[in-house]
C-alpha cells in the first residue's frame, strides 16, 4: 500500500490558481483511474479533474470554496502498490499524460461528444457518455424492462427520441451538471419534471430550455423579491475577477475611438430567411449574427490593419482571423473565438458559432478557446439594444457591436418605406487604426449587411 497525492494541475495556458467548486468523492471512497474527483473553477471555466490513481481516498485536503495555487496537494489516495503506469504520478507535473489529455478533451462541444459516443459506445470522456454496463437513469425512471436495459446506448437513445416527451416525476436522483442546474434555476424549471435525453440519462441544456418553453436564460419573466438581507456581498473571483482585470486594462491602456452607422438590413433578413429554408442548412442555427461574422471576415481582408495586435515594440498584422464573439452566460461574459474562421464556409461558420456558444453556456470553455483572438463582435441586439460603445478585447484593436434589427421608416428612392434597420457601433485602438481605415472597415461591414450578395465575391 502506498499513498499518492493529487496536485492541482495547470489545466490551461498559464493558470496560477483555481477554486475548488465541488468534490465528487469523500474520504473512504474507492476511486478508479479517470473517475471525476472534483470540479474546479478557473478564471474562465469550470473543469472536471479525473483521477490518475486507482485506490481509496485517504483524505480530502482542500475544502470546497477555497482557492489554491497550482501544484497544491488537494487530495490523497491510498493505492495498491505504485500508481498505474498508464497514469501520471501527478497531473501537476509538466509532462503531459493521459489524465491531462482527458482534461483537454472536455473542451469539445457537447454535440461532438454525443456524436463520438454514438460512434464508439464504449468510449468515455470524463463526465460524459456511458460507462460500460452502467444503466441509464432515464430508462430506470421510465420503467423500461430488461430488454430495453440491454439495448445498445445509441439504439436506446434513438428509441427514446421517438418516445413522447411527457414530463415525469423522478424516481431517483436528478442527473445534471452544475451549469445545467444553474440554467434550470434561472428559468424556474423543476428538474424533477424534466424528461432527460442525454445518452447516460443526464439532463441536457436543450431539455431545460424545452421545458421552460423559451430560448433565453436572460429574459426575466417575473420580478424577484428583495432578499432578506439589506445588502449582498459577492466575492470578486473567477470569471468576474478576470473580466474586471481585462476590461480595466483595455480601457486605460488602449485609446479607444468609436464609430457608428445606421444600416438597412432588410436584405440580410431576407437572406437569413432563405438560408433557414435551404436543405443545405437543415439543422443549423442561422441568424443575422452569422452574416455579421462573415461580413467582418470579408472586411478584414480589405482592411487588414484592424486585425492586428499592438505590443509597444511592433504592430503584428494577422493574416488569419480568429473570430471572437462576446457571449453572456450564467457565469458572466466570456469571449471565445473561432480559430481560422476565414477558412470556413458559411455553413461551417454557423456550426462553429453554435457549438462554441453551447460550450460557453454549459461552462465548459477552456482557456485555449478564448486565447489568441484577432477581432470580436458583440451582439447586443439580442437584448434589444440599438447600439453601444464596446471595450476592446485585450490584444485586439477592433470590436463591432451589432444592434437590434427592427422595422423603421427608411427613405428608398425618394419614398419612405418600412425597412429592417440596425445600427453598428465599433471601437478601435487609435494607436494602430487610423480614422480612415476604421471608417472604411465599418463601411465595408455595413455594405455586406445591406447587400449579402457581396459575400459571393
What digits encode the pLDDT tens for the residues 336-359?
A: 999 999 999 999 999 999 999 999
Going by C-alpha positions, the residue among 86, 103, 101 that lies closest to residue 45 is 103
H/E element holding 36? Answer: strand 36-41
Domain boundaries, the chain: 2-105, 110-166+173-212, 238-456
Tell me the pLDDT band of 12, cut-offs 50, 70 and 90.
low
Query: Which has the higher per-residue pLDDT, 19 or 210?
Result: 19
Query: Which has the higher per-residue pLDDT, 334 or 263?
Result: 263
Helix ranges restricted to H, 254-390: 266-277, 288-302, 346-361, 367-370
pLDDT of residue 232: 82
pLDDT of residue 305: 96
CATH architecture group of domain 238-456: 2-Layer Sandwich (3.30)
CATH code given to domain 2-105: 2.40.50.100
Give the residues across from 75 on adjacent strands: 6, 60
pLDDT of residue 164: 41
Could you tell me the pTM of the whole model? 0.58
pLDDT of residue 287: 92
Query: Which has the higher per-residue pLDDT, 301 or 148?
Result: 301
Q: Catalytic residues, which ones?
A: 430
Give pLDDT tens digits for 418-444: 999 999 999 999 999 999 999 999 999
Distance CA 328, CA 378 (A): 10
- 211 pLDDT above the threshold of 50: yes
**Least confident interval from 37-41, 388-392, 448-452:** 37-41
Distance CA 433, CA 138 (A): 55
pLDDT of residue 43: 66
**Least confident interval from 94-103, 392-401, 416-425:** 94-103
pLDDT of residue 428: 97
- Region of residue 58 (left: phi > 0; alpha: psi -120 to 50; beta: else): alpha
Domains 2-105 and 238-456 equal at CATH topology level: no
- 130 pLDDT above the threshold of 70: no
pLDDT of residue 432: 96
288-302 helix and 435-450 helix, angle to the nearest 10 degrees:
140
Name the one residue in this structure whose C-alpha cell is 430495453.
148
User: SS3 of 203, please?
Assistant: coil
Query: Which has the higher per-residue pLDDT, 354 or 152?
Result: 354
- DSSP annotation of 279 reads G
- Region of residue 246 (left: phi > 0; alpha: psi -120 to 50; beta: else): alpha
Buried b (16+ CB within 10 A) or exposed e, 414-438: eeeeebbbbbbbbbbbeebbeeebb
Give pLDDT tens digits for 166-209: 444 445 678 888 778 888 887 778 888 888 888 888 898 878 87
Going by C-alpha positions, the residue among 185, 129, 116, 100 that lies closest to residue 366 is 100
Amino acid at each position: 500500500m502506498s499513498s499518492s497525492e493529487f496536485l492541482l494541475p495547470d489545466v490551461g495556458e498559464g493558470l496560477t490558481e483555481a477554486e475548488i467548486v465541488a468534490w465528487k468523492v469523500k474520504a473512504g471512497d474507492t476511486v478508479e483511474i479517470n473517475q471525476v474527483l472534483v470540479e474546479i473553477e478557473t478564471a474562465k471555466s469550470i473543469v472536471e479533474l479525473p483521477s490518475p490513481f486507482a485506490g481509496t481516498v485517504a483524505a480530502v485536503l482542500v475544502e470546497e470554496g477555497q482557492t489554491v495555487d497550482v501544484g497544491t496537494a488537494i487530495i490523497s489516495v491510498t493505492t495498491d502498490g505504485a500508481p498505474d503506469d498508464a497514469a501520471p504520478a501527478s497531473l501537476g507535473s509538466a509532462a503531459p499524460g493521459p489524465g491531462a489529455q482527458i482534461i483537454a478533451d472536455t473542451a469539445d462541444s457537447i454535440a461532438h461528444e454525443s456524436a463520438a459516443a454514438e460512434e464508439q459506445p464504449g468510449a468515455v470522456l470524463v463526465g460524459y457518455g456511458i460507462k460500460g454496463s452502467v444503466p441509464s437513469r432515464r430508462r430506470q425512471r421510465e420503467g423500461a424492462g430488461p430488454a430495453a436495459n440491454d439495448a445498445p446506448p445509441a439504439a436506446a437513445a434513438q428509441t427514446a427520441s421517438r418516445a413522447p416527451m411527457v414530463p415525469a416525476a423522478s424516481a431517483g436522483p436528478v442527473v445534471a451538471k452544475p451549469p445545467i442546474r444553474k440554467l434550470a434555476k434561472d428559468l424556474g424549471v423543476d428538474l424533477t419534471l424534466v424528461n432527460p435525453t442525454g445518452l447516460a440519462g443526464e439532463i441536457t441544456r436543450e431539455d431545460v430550455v424545452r421545458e421552460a418553453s423559451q430560448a433565453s436564460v436572460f429574459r426575466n419573466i417575473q420580478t424577484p423579491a428583495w432578499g432578506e438581507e439589506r445588502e449582498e456581498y459577492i466575492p470578486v473571483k473567477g470569471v468576474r475577477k478576470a473580466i474586471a482585470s481585462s476590461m480595466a486594462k483595455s480601457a486605460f491602456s488602449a485609446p479607444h475611438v468609436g464609430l457608428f452607422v445606421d444600416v438597412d438590413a432588410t436584405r440580410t433578413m431576407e437572406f437569413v430567411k432563405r438560408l433557414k429554408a435551404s436543405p443545405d442548412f437543415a439543422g443549423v442555427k442561422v441568424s443575422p449574427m452569422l452574416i455579421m461574422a462573415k461580413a467582418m471576415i470579408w472586411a478584414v481582408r480589405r482592411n487588414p490593419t484592424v486585425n492586428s495586435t499592438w505590443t509597444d515594440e511592433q504592430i503584428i498584422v494577422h493574416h488569419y482571423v480568429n473570430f471572437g464573439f462576446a457571449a453572456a452566460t450564467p457565469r458572466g461574459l466570456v469571449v471565445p473565438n473561432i480559430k481560422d474562421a476565414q477558412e470556413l464556409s458559411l455553413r461551417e461558420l454557423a456550426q462553429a458559432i453554435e457549438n462554441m456558444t453551447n460550450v460557453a453556456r454549459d461552462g465548459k470553455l477552456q482557456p485555449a478557446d478564448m486565447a489568441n483572438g484577432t477581432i470580436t463582435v458583440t451582439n447586443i441586439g439580442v437584448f434589444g439594444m440599438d447600439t453601444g460603445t464596446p471595450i476592446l478585447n485585450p490584444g485586439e484593436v477592433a470590436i463591432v457591436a451589432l444592434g437590434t434589427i427592427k422595422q423603421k421608416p427608411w427613405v428608398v428612392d425618394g419614398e419612405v418605406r418600412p425597412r429592417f434597420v440596425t445600427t453598428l457601433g465599433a471601437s478601435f485602438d487609435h494607436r494602430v487604426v487610423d480614422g480612415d481605415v476604421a471608417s472604411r472597415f465599418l463601411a465595408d461591414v455595413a455594405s455586406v449587411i445591406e447587400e449579402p450578395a457581396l459575400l459571393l465575391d
